[in-house]
Structure 1
Amino acid sequence: MSKSSNWESTIKPIVVLSVISLIVSLLLALVNSMTAPVIAENTKRTTLAAYVGVLPSVSDASELEEVTDYTTAGVTGVVKAPDGSMAIKAEESGFDGGIVTVIVGLDANGTETGIWVDASTQTKGIGSAVAEDDFLKQFDGLDCTQSVVMGQNGVDGKSGATFSSKALFAALNDIVNCYNELA
Protein backbone atom coordinates (compact mmCIF):
# COMPACT_ATOMS: atom_id res chain seq x y z
CA MET A 1 0.00 0.00 0.00
CA SER A 2 1.45 3.33 -0.99
CA LYS A 3 1.52 6.47 1.06
CA SER A 4 -0.84 8.23 -1.38
CA SER A 5 -3.55 5.57 -1.20
CA ASN A 6 -3.43 5.53 2.62
CA TRP A 7 -4.07 9.30 2.63
CA GLU A 8 -6.98 9.00 0.16
CA SER A 9 -8.68 6.01 1.77
CA THR A 10 -8.15 6.66 5.49
CA ILE A 11 -6.86 10.03 6.57
CA LYS A 12 -8.57 12.38 4.08
CA PRO A 13 -12.16 11.22 4.92
CA ILE A 14 -11.45 11.66 8.64
CA VAL A 15 -10.11 15.17 8.11
CA VAL A 16 -13.02 16.15 5.84
CA LEU A 17 -15.63 14.81 8.29
CA SER A 18 -13.89 16.58 11.19
CA VAL A 19 -13.91 19.91 9.33
CA ILE A 20 -17.59 19.50 8.36
CA SER A 21 -18.49 18.62 11.97
CA LEU A 22 -16.63 21.67 13.25
CA ILE A 23 -18.39 23.99 10.79
CA VAL A 24 -21.84 22.54 11.61
CA SER A 25 -21.15 22.84 15.35
CA LEU A 26 -20.15 26.48 14.97
CA LEU A 27 -23.30 27.21 12.94
CA LEU A 28 -25.49 25.51 15.57
CA ALA A 29 -23.82 27.53 18.32
CA LEU A 30 -24.46 30.73 16.36
CA VAL A 31 -28.14 29.91 15.82
CA ASN A 32 -28.52 29.00 19.52
CA SER A 33 -26.92 32.25 20.65
CA MET A 34 -29.40 34.19 18.52
CA THR A 35 -32.54 32.24 19.50
CA ALA A 36 -31.92 31.54 23.20
CA PRO A 37 -32.68 35.10 24.40
CA VAL A 38 -35.86 35.23 22.28
CA ILE A 39 -37.04 31.89 23.69
CA ALA A 40 -36.27 33.01 27.25
CA GLU A 41 -38.20 36.27 26.76
CA ASN A 42 -41.21 34.41 25.30
CA THR A 43 -41.18 31.95 28.21
CA LYS A 44 -41.03 34.81 30.72
CA ARG A 45 -43.90 36.63 29.00
CA THR A 46 -46.04 33.44 28.94
CA THR A 47 -45.29 32.76 32.63
CA LEU A 48 -46.20 36.32 33.70
CA ALA A 49 -49.46 36.14 31.73
CA ALA A 50 -50.26 32.80 33.40
CA TYR A 51 -49.53 34.28 36.85
CA VAL A 52 -51.97 37.12 36.16
CA GLY A 53 -54.48 34.63 34.74
CA VAL A 54 -54.62 32.53 37.92
CA LEU A 55 -54.83 35.48 40.32
CA PRO A 56 -58.22 37.21 40.01
CA SER A 57 -57.11 40.13 42.22
CA VAL A 58 -54.26 41.03 39.84
CA SER A 59 -54.73 42.81 36.53
CA ASP A 60 -51.09 43.44 35.61
CA ALA A 61 -47.85 41.57 36.17
CA SER A 62 -46.20 44.73 37.51
CA GLU A 63 -48.29 44.25 40.69
CA LEU A 64 -46.51 40.96 41.44
CA GLU A 65 -43.52 40.59 43.73
CA GLU A 66 -41.13 37.69 43.13
CA VAL A 67 -40.56 35.39 46.11
CA THR A 68 -37.23 33.57 46.30
CA ASP A 69 -36.99 32.23 49.86
CA TYR A 70 -38.36 28.73 49.21
CA THR A 71 -36.58 25.40 48.94
CA THR A 72 -39.34 23.11 47.64
CA ALA A 73 -38.06 20.80 44.90
CA GLY A 74 -39.90 21.04 41.59
CA VAL A 75 -40.99 24.65 42.17
CA THR A 76 -39.53 27.02 39.58
CA GLY A 77 -41.21 30.29 40.50
CA VAL A 78 -43.34 32.06 43.11
CA VAL A 79 -44.96 35.49 42.99
CA LYS A 80 -47.02 37.30 45.59
CA ALA A 81 -49.82 39.81 45.03
CA PRO A 82 -50.49 42.85 47.26
CA ASP A 83 -53.56 41.15 48.82
CA GLY A 84 -51.48 38.18 50.08
CA SER A 85 -52.51 35.80 47.32
CA MET A 86 -49.74 34.05 45.42
CA ALA A 87 -49.06 32.03 42.30
CA ILE A 88 -46.67 29.10 42.37
CA LYS A 89 -45.12 27.42 39.33
CA ALA A 90 -43.91 23.80 39.41
CA GLU A 91 -42.54 21.46 36.76
CA GLU A 92 -42.44 17.67 36.73
CA SER A 93 -41.52 15.02 34.16
CA GLY A 94 -44.37 13.36 32.36
CA PHE A 95 -44.40 10.87 29.50
CA ASP A 96 -41.03 10.25 27.87
CA GLY A 97 -39.36 12.86 30.12
CA GLY A 98 -41.41 15.77 28.72
CA ILE A 99 -42.07 18.52 31.25
CA VAL A 100 -45.57 19.30 32.54
CA THR A 101 -45.68 22.87 33.87
CA VAL A 102 -48.37 23.84 36.38
CA ILE A 103 -49.12 27.29 37.79
CA VAL A 104 -51.70 27.59 40.57
CA GLY A 105 -53.08 30.79 42.01
CA LEU A 106 -53.83 30.63 45.74
CA ASP A 107 -55.69 33.09 47.94
CA ALA A 108 -54.34 34.01 51.37
CA ASN A 109 -56.04 30.90 52.86
CA GLY A 110 -54.48 28.46 50.37
CA THR A 111 -57.59 27.97 48.23
CA GLU A 112 -57.04 27.56 44.51
CA THR A 113 -58.11 30.66 42.53
CA GLY A 114 -56.95 29.50 39.11
CA ILE A 115 -54.87 26.82 37.43
CA TRP A 116 -52.81 26.92 34.26
CA VAL A 117 -51.16 23.83 32.78
CA ASP A 118 -48.76 23.44 29.87
CA ALA A 119 -48.65 19.82 28.75
CA SER A 120 -47.54 20.55 25.19
CA THR A 121 -44.59 18.16 25.58
CA GLN A 122 -46.98 15.26 26.19
CA THR A 123 -48.59 13.04 23.55
CA LYS A 124 -51.08 15.14 21.60
CA GLY A 125 -54.68 14.28 22.42
CA ILE A 126 -53.73 11.89 25.23
CA GLY A 127 -51.27 13.33 27.76
CA SER A 128 -51.85 16.87 26.54
CA ALA A 129 -55.48 16.46 27.66
CA VAL A 130 -54.42 17.14 31.28
CA ALA A 131 -54.25 20.82 30.26
CA GLU A 132 -57.83 20.99 28.93
CA ASP A 133 -60.26 23.29 30.73
CA ASP A 134 -62.89 20.56 31.14
CA PHE A 135 -60.37 18.37 32.97
CA LEU A 136 -58.95 21.22 35.08
CA LYS A 137 -62.42 22.27 36.36
CA GLN A 138 -62.19 19.49 38.96
CA PHE A 139 -59.54 21.55 40.77
CA ASP A 140 -61.73 24.68 41.12
CA GLY A 141 -61.59 25.90 44.73
CA LEU A 142 -59.26 23.08 45.81
CA ASP A 143 -57.77 23.39 49.30
CA CYS A 144 -54.06 23.58 48.52
CA THR A 145 -52.90 23.43 52.11
CA GLN A 146 -52.98 19.63 52.03
CA SER A 147 -51.72 16.99 49.61
CA VAL A 148 -53.69 16.39 46.44
CA VAL A 149 -54.16 12.66 45.92
CA MET A 150 -55.30 11.26 42.60
CA GLY A 151 -58.61 9.45 43.06
CA GLN A 152 -59.52 11.17 46.34
CA ASN A 153 -61.68 14.18 47.25
CA GLY A 154 -63.23 14.38 43.80
CA VAL A 155 -60.02 14.78 41.81
CA ASP A 156 -58.80 12.15 39.41
CA GLY A 157 -56.22 11.60 36.70
CA LYS A 158 -56.97 11.70 33.00
CA SER A 159 -57.95 8.30 31.65
CA GLY A 160 -55.25 6.96 29.32
CA ALA A 161 -52.72 9.61 30.37
CA THR A 162 -51.12 7.95 33.36
CA PHE A 163 -47.66 9.54 33.13
CA SER A 164 -49.02 13.01 32.39
CA SER A 165 -51.56 12.74 35.23
CA LYS A 166 -48.85 11.64 37.66
CA ALA A 167 -46.70 14.61 36.59
CA LEU A 168 -49.65 16.98 37.07
CA PHE A 169 -50.38 15.66 40.57
CA ALA A 170 -46.68 15.70 41.50
CA ALA A 171 -46.48 19.36 40.42
CA LEU A 172 -49.66 20.16 42.38
CA ASN A 173 -48.11 18.61 45.48
CA ASP A 174 -44.89 20.56 44.91
CA ILE A 175 -47.10 23.66 44.93
CA VAL A 176 -48.88 22.53 48.12
CA ASN A 177 -45.52 21.90 49.81
CA CYS A 178 -44.19 25.28 48.75
CA TYR A 179 -47.34 27.09 49.92
CA ASN A 180 -47.04 25.39 53.32
CA GLU A 181 -43.35 26.26 53.46
CA LEU A 182 -44.08 29.94 52.80
CA ALA A 183 -47.32 30.26 54.82
Structure 2
Amino acid sequence: MNKILKLGVFLAVVSAIAGGALAFANEMTAPVIAANNEKTEKAALLQMYPDASESDFEEVEFKSESTTIQKVYKYNDLFIFNMKVSGYKDGTTFLVSINSNDKVIDNFLAMSNGDTKGLGSKVLEDDFKNSLLQKSSEEELDTISGATVSSQPVVDAINEASTYVDELK
Protein backbone atom coordinates (compact mmCIF):
# COMPACT_ATOMS: atom_id res chain seq x y z
CA MET A 1 0.00 0.00 0.00
CA ASN A 2 2.88 2.35 0.86
CA LYS A 3 4.46 1.74 -2.57
CA ILE A 4 1.19 2.64 -4.36
CA LEU A 5 0.93 5.86 -2.36
CA LYS A 6 4.54 6.83 -3.24
CA LEU A 7 3.96 6.11 -6.93
CA GLY A 8 0.72 8.11 -6.84
CA VAL A 9 2.44 11.13 -5.24
CA PHE A 10 5.36 10.83 -7.69
CA LEU A 11 2.94 10.75 -10.64
CA ALA A 12 1.06 13.79 -9.28
CA VAL A 13 4.30 15.76 -8.88
CA VAL A 14 5.54 14.87 -12.37
CA SER A 15 2.13 15.78 -13.83
CA ALA A 16 2.12 19.13 -12.03
CA ILE A 17 5.63 19.94 -13.26
CA ALA A 18 4.75 18.94 -16.84
CA GLY A 19 1.53 20.96 -16.71
CA GLY A 20 3.39 23.98 -15.39
CA ALA A 21 6.03 23.67 -18.11
CA LEU A 22 3.35 23.47 -20.81
CA ALA A 23 1.51 26.50 -19.39
CA PHE A 24 4.78 28.46 -19.31
CA ALA A 25 5.61 27.48 -22.90
CA ASN A 26 2.11 28.47 -24.03
CA GLU A 27 2.37 31.83 -22.27
CA MET A 28 5.73 32.52 -23.91
CA THR A 29 4.72 31.50 -27.44
CA ALA A 30 1.11 32.79 -27.59
CA PRO A 31 2.07 36.40 -28.44
CA VAL A 32 4.51 35.23 -31.13
CA ILE A 33 1.90 32.95 -32.66
CA ALA A 34 -0.71 35.74 -32.61
CA ALA A 35 1.74 38.15 -34.26
CA ASN A 36 2.60 35.60 -36.95
CA ASN A 37 -1.09 34.93 -37.63
CA GLU A 38 -1.77 38.65 -37.96
CA LYS A 39 1.21 39.06 -40.28
CA THR A 40 -0.04 36.19 -42.46
CA GLU A 41 -3.53 37.69 -42.54
CA LYS A 42 -2.21 41.14 -43.54
CA ALA A 43 -0.11 39.54 -46.29
CA ALA A 44 -3.21 37.73 -47.58
CA LEU A 45 -5.18 41.00 -47.61
CA LEU A 46 -2.38 42.64 -49.60
CA GLN A 47 -2.32 39.65 -51.94
CA MET A 48 -6.03 40.21 -52.63
CA TYR A 49 -5.54 43.95 -53.14
CA PRO A 50 -1.91 44.64 -54.12
CA ASP A 51 -2.50 48.38 -54.66
CA ALA A 52 -3.56 48.84 -51.04
CA SER A 53 -1.40 49.35 -47.98
CA GLU A 54 -1.85 47.63 -44.61
CA SER A 55 -3.36 50.78 -43.13
CA ASP A 56 -6.14 50.76 -45.77
CA PHE A 57 -7.75 47.74 -44.12
CA GLU A 58 -9.80 48.82 -41.13
CA GLU A 59 -10.81 46.05 -38.74
CA VAL A 60 -14.53 46.26 -38.06
CA GLU A 61 -15.90 45.39 -34.65
CA PHE A 62 -18.10 42.38 -35.21
CA LYS A 63 -20.28 40.80 -32.55
CA SER A 64 -22.11 37.66 -33.57
CA GLU A 65 -22.63 34.08 -32.57
CA SER A 66 -21.16 33.00 -35.89
CA THR A 67 -18.55 30.29 -35.55
CA THR A 68 -17.29 30.75 -39.11
CA ILE A 69 -16.55 34.49 -39.21
CA GLN A 70 -13.23 35.15 -37.47
CA LYS A 71 -12.67 38.83 -38.36
CA VAL A 72 -14.10 41.49 -40.64
CA TYR A 73 -12.20 44.26 -42.42
CA LYS A 74 -13.48 47.24 -44.36
CA TYR A 75 -11.65 48.36 -47.48
CA ASN A 76 -13.31 51.10 -49.55
CA ASP A 77 -16.84 49.81 -50.27
CA LEU A 78 -15.89 46.23 -49.46
CA PHE A 79 -16.23 44.10 -46.38
CA ILE A 80 -13.59 41.38 -46.20
CA PHE A 81 -14.54 38.41 -44.07
CA ASN A 82 -11.89 36.11 -42.62
CA MET A 83 -13.70 32.78 -42.32
CA LYS A 84 -12.97 29.27 -41.12
CA VAL A 85 -15.26 26.37 -41.98
CA SER A 86 -15.13 22.67 -41.32
CA GLY A 87 -15.07 20.30 -44.24
CA TYR A 88 -14.32 16.66 -44.81
CA LYS A 89 -11.28 16.70 -42.54
CA ASP A 90 -9.67 19.94 -41.31
CA GLY A 91 -11.72 22.44 -43.27
CA THR A 92 -10.83 25.67 -45.02
CA THR A 93 -9.68 29.13 -43.95
CA PHE A 94 -10.37 31.85 -46.49
CA LEU A 95 -10.98 35.53 -47.13
CA VAL A 96 -13.95 36.74 -49.14
CA SER A 97 -14.68 40.37 -50.00
CA ILE A 98 -18.25 41.45 -50.58
CA ASN A 99 -19.26 44.82 -51.99
CA SER A 100 -21.39 46.64 -49.42
CA ASN A 101 -23.56 48.26 -52.10
CA ASP A 102 -24.75 45.29 -54.14
CA LYS A 103 -23.41 42.28 -52.18
CA VAL A 104 -21.39 41.06 -55.16
CA ILE A 105 -18.33 38.92 -54.40
CA ASP A 106 -15.33 41.03 -55.36
CA ASN A 107 -12.51 38.69 -54.41
CA PHE A 108 -11.82 35.31 -52.80
CA LEU A 109 -8.63 33.88 -51.38
CA ALA A 110 -8.40 30.44 -49.83
CA MET A 111 -5.53 30.55 -47.34
CA SER A 112 -5.49 26.94 -46.14
CA ASN A 113 -7.30 23.69 -46.68
CA GLY A 114 -6.76 20.49 -44.74
CA ASP A 115 -9.13 18.33 -46.72
CA THR A 116 -8.37 15.49 -49.13
CA LYS A 117 -5.66 16.35 -51.64
CA GLY A 118 -7.02 16.39 -55.17
CA LEU A 119 -10.70 16.75 -54.35
CA GLY A 120 -11.21 18.81 -51.23
CA SER A 121 -8.19 20.95 -51.98
CA LYS A 122 -9.87 22.20 -55.17
CA VAL A 123 -11.26 25.10 -53.14
CA LEU A 124 -7.71 26.49 -53.31
CA GLU A 125 -7.73 26.54 -57.12
CA ASP A 126 -8.51 29.44 -59.45
CA ASP A 127 -11.41 27.57 -61.09
CA PHE A 128 -13.36 27.62 -57.83
CA LYS A 129 -12.40 31.24 -57.17
CA ASN A 130 -13.48 32.27 -60.67
CA SER A 131 -16.83 30.52 -60.23
CA LEU A 132 -17.54 32.86 -57.29
CA LEU A 133 -16.28 36.20 -58.53
CA GLN A 134 -18.76 38.88 -59.59
CA LYS A 135 -21.73 36.82 -58.43
CA SER A 136 -24.20 37.91 -55.80
CA SER A 137 -23.24 36.54 -52.41
CA GLU A 138 -26.94 36.03 -51.72
CA GLU A 139 -27.61 33.68 -54.63
CA GLU A 140 -26.96 29.98 -54.91
CA LEU A 141 -23.28 29.56 -55.71
CA ASP A 142 -21.69 26.60 -57.46
CA THR A 143 -19.93 23.90 -55.48
CA ILE A 144 -17.23 21.56 -56.75
CA SER A 145 -18.56 18.31 -58.14
CA GLY A 146 -17.12 15.42 -56.13
CA ALA A 147 -15.94 17.77 -53.39
CA THR A 148 -19.20 19.13 -52.04
CA VAL A 149 -18.23 18.22 -48.46
CA SER A 150 -15.34 20.67 -48.78
CA SER A 151 -16.85 23.34 -51.04
CA GLN A 152 -20.42 23.50 -49.68
CA PRO A 153 -19.33 24.87 -46.27
CA VAL A 154 -17.36 27.60 -48.08
CA VAL A 155 -20.42 28.54 -50.14
CA ASP A 156 -22.65 28.45 -47.04
CA ALA A 157 -20.21 30.69 -45.16
CA ILE A 158 -20.18 33.21 -48.02
CA ASN A 159 -23.99 33.27 -47.93
CA GLU A 160 -23.82 33.74 -44.15
CA ALA A 161 -21.36 36.63 -44.48
CA SER A 162 -23.71 38.26 -46.95
CA THR A 163 -26.42 38.44 -44.29
CA TYR A 164 -24.16 40.63 -42.12
CA VAL A 165 -23.18 43.17 -44.79
CA ASP A 166 -26.18 45.48 -44.19
CA GLU A 167 -25.63 45.30 -40.44
CA LEU A 168 -21.97 46.32 -40.83
CA LYS A 169 -22.64 49.37 -43.05
> The TM-score by the shorter chain falls in which range?
0.7 to 0.9
How much does 1:40 deviate?
0.9
Letter matched to residue 48 of structure 2: V
Structure 2 CA distance for aligned equivalents of residues 42 and 51 of structure 1: 14
Q: 166-175 vs 126-135, which deviates more? A: 126-135
| Count of aligned pairs | 167
TM-score (norm 1): 0.77
2:49 aligned with 1:62, yes or no?
no
Aligned partners of 2:110 and 2:123 also within 8 Å: yes
From the superposition, tell whether residues 90 and 72 of structure 1 become closer, same or farther in structure 2 (CA, over 3 Å): farther
Residue number among 159, 165, 169 corresponding to 1:173 in the alignment = 159
Residue of structure 1 in register with 2:31 after alignment: 37
Q: Please name the residue that 1:91 is paired with.
A: 84
TM-score (ref. length: structure 2): 0.82
Structure 1, unmatched stretches of 5+, are 1-5, 150-154
Which residue is 2:135 aligned to?
Answer: 142
Q: Provide the residue aligned with 2:15 in structure 1.
A: 21
Aligned to 1:156: 143
Q: Deviations over 1:69-123 (max 9, x none)?
A: 5647232222112x32231222222234x34222112334332221011343333
- Higher normalized contact order (CA 8 Å, seq sep 6+, divided by chain length): 1
**Kindly tell me: are residues 123 and 31 of structure 1, through their superposed partners in 2, closer, same or farther at Cα, counting changes over 3 Å?**
farther
Q: Flag the structure with larger Rg.
A: 1
Aligned to 2:108, the other structure's residue is in SS state strand
Instruction: Note the aligned Cα RMSD (angstroms).
Output: 2.4
Inter-partner Cα distance in structure 2 for 1:24 and 1:69: 38
Any idea what the Cα deviations from partners look like across 1:114-136, whole Å, max 9, x if unmatched? 10113433334442332222332
Aligned to 1:112: 105
- 3-state SS of paired residue (1:156): coil
Q: Which stretches of structure 1, 4 residues or longer, exceed 6 Å deviation after superposition?
A: none
After TM superposition, list the pairs within 5 Å mapping 1:121-136 onto structure 2.
Answer: 121-136=114-129
Q: Residue 44 of structure 1 aligns to which amino acid in structure 2? A: E
Query: Any conservation in 1 of the 2:120–2:149 contact (CA below 8 Å)?
Result: yes
Counterpart of 1:50?
44
